[in-house]
Amino acid sequence: MRPSATHLLRDLFHDREYLHLLVKFSIPIALQNFLTASLNLVAGVMIGQLGERSVAAVGQANQLLFLLNLLVFGVVSGAAMFLTQLWGKQDVLNIRRVLGLTVKLGLLAAMIFWALGTFLSKPILGLYSNDLQVIAIGSQYLRIACWGYLFLSITAVYGMALRSIGNVRLPLVVSISALIFNLLLAYPLIFGWKALQFAPMGVNGAAIASVITRALESLAMIALVYWTRSNPLAAGLKDIFSIEWKFIKATLKPVLPVIANEALWSFGITAYFSIYGHIGNGTDAVAAINIVGTIDQLAFVLFTGMGTATAIIVGHAIGRGELDKAFAYAGRSLFIQVVTAMMMGVLIYLFAGNIFRFYKVDPLVIKQAGSILTIMSMGMWIRAANHVLIIGILRSGGDARFSLFLDGFVIWMVGVPLTAVGAFLLGLPVQFVYALTFSEEIVKMIVGTWRYLSGKWIHNLTGHVSGV
């Protein structure tokens, strides 16, 4: 018999095991996300010194990176459904086999996106902007930056795998070291350094710094994983490169809906950006969205940490066969996520706008960014609830098909159509068009909460790969 909602809340702060695991996993992940977002914010401010066209160009060029990130995230989070449950069962052999398949899929995705960035940069950027200068600047940046995609995919695969088995410190150390290095390298490449005879390279300098950093980050991650062969993720070449069709079929059956989920959702988000890019002159609207996006990333770090930590805790419990405990832990995380996000929204509304003064852009852009920030702060708790519902609960429980419907299709059935109507039929300004994107979030929260309460999301996946 599963615990009631009243029972879950009553025992929320008395379950020491749950609180210990939550803090153990969520704090390092949130810290990594916080430092990542903080350094990205600084990098965004550096680009902001070059004007709104450079801000818009880098933001639009990074839409391809955004798509790749989410596609790779779909691969690794789909694999994480297995990895967390297999680690709960201490099945190292199949952990390494799943890791090998994930590496191959991640590299395949990276190669496809490298080809797109190298050969089709201008047509791709033309989907997001009408400004020829923005397209020219962005395409140069993209053709350089896409060389880092292969390294990014390897880092993402091993980072997620490490978190899935409870090792959250190694990805933290590697990621933060890489980000600091990237920041130190990007400054002289962007603005020049006379003492070292570096000529200013603008946004191209930022792209070069990102490629060098991604390569070093990937090499460091692999070296540390293989430092000792006893590491559960120190898979041999056979595990990485062998092709076992029966195993691949058994593994991909629940993973493919997650990949499809991320693909549909990510294309939906880029559809939003395409719509923003055709409001007014396009450049101002996109610049305002990108400026707020850096603040949003910084504010959301705690909630991504909670989502990943919940996925680890719930997945391990399911792998051990403790289904009632998994249900209880999921409910407690959802409650904490919502309450914390409401408080964060208030703080963002009160203080985050002070960051705008560091950007050298048109006053209209700052005004639009302020309105967007207000809307974002009001709706943050809804997005945070959906994150833990989809990433932390439904996926970790192996409920991939329902997650595909909830996260992959709702954005196209609700969010994108309403946003397009607001922009093109009603002619609304960017801040009101942005507000319409929350229509999908409201639907997802209502349906996702119902699915959690039904308990139908809990599936033990370890039997899919055992003995295959």
Supply 97's token pair.
């086999």
Which of 174, 183, 232, 180 minimizes the C-alpha distance to 205? 183
pLDDT digits (tens, 9 = 90+) for 126-181: 887 778 888 999 899 999 999 999 999 999 899 989 988 888 889 888 988 988 89
What pLDDT is attached to residue 1?
52
What is the rounded CA–CA span in Å between residue 251 and residue 308?
Answer: 21
What pLDDT is attached to residue 21?
86
What is the rounded CA–CA span in Å between residue 369 and residue 288?
Answer: 5
Angle between helices 52-88 and 283-299 (to 10 degrees): 40
What is the rounded CA–CA span in Å between residue 407 and residue 437?
Answer: 13
Query: Could you say which residues of the chain have pLDDT below 70?
Result: 1-14, 36-41, 195, 229, 281-282, 463-468
pLDDT digits (tens, 9 = 90+) for 66-121: 788 888 888 888 888 889 889 888 888 889 999 999 999 999 999 999 999 999 98
What pLDDT is attached to residue 262?
83
Kindly report the pTM of this predicted structure: 0.77
What pLDDT is attached to residue 3?
58
Cβ atoms of 273 and 128 closer than 8 Å: yes
- Total Cβ atoms within 10 A of residue 38: 17
Cβ atoms of 147 and 139 closer than 8 Å: no
Q: What is the CA radius of gyration of the chain?
A: 22
What pLDDT is attached to residue 161?
92
